[in-house]
Amino acid sequence: WLKFWLKSVDIFGVQSADCAMPIEKSPARNGDLPVLLEGEEIRLSEPKTRLYTRQHLEGEGVLHLTTKRLVWLGGPGCAIDYPFITMHAVSRDKNAWPDPCLYCQLREEDDENEEAEEETSVPELRFVPAEPAHLQEMFQVFSEMSALNPDPFDEQADDSESEGDFEDVLGGGYQPQVELGVMWNADMNDAAMEDADEDEDAHM
């Protein structure tokens, strides 16, 4: 299926920043269900989920977490492969956002024509379910599916730098947007899943 590299933070075409990200607009669907890829399965569906890009409400639709991608079917809808979502977290801080949500940061693609010292905005998405009590399950399924879909093109993974870079994000403009201790970094997903299994064995 096609991916659209959009020069925008708004996934539906509002030009608001010089960054690029891969998103499939208007994915194939059967009503409120996505047309699945070969070998793809739906692991969680959350109806009445609002999608925000930054402060902009894109609409309300059904959020599907499949074994290969995130699919939101509301309005034209969109689909994103897990490797391009670099971090996701449960956010319940009303100072950051009025409603509990699943907060996501998307990977930016470097622009060769962009000055190295020029700073760009990190693409952000917020999925707000009608039932906030479902957030923890959404987060858990998202984490599991992300672990199954590591970035195959990540040749610069450096565990020693990942933690420091992530702390820089939290210590900067994004600190109020996520809850510490309830977040997932795509670069560290395999290690986190192993640690979780070890913790469970230790308590048995």
Residue 190: beta bridge partners?
A: none
Phi and psi for 27 in degrees, rounded to 5?
A: -65, 155
pLDDT tens by residue, 66-85: 999 999 999 899 999 999 99
pLDDT of residue 33: 97
Q: What is the pTM of this model?
A: 0.69
pLDDT of residue 156: 53
Task: Characterize 28-41 residue by residue with b for buried, 16 or more Cβ atoms within 10 angstroms of its Cβ, and e for exposed.
Answer: eeeeeebebeeeee
pLDDT of residue 107: 86
Whether the pLDDT of residue 6 is over 90: the answer is no
Q: Torsion angle, CA of 189/108/90/12, rounded to 10 degrees?
A: -130
> Do 12 and 58 form a contact (C-beta atoms < 8 A)?
yes
Helix axis angle, 135-148 relative to 189-202, nearest 10°?
Answer: 120
Average pLDDT (91-106) is 95
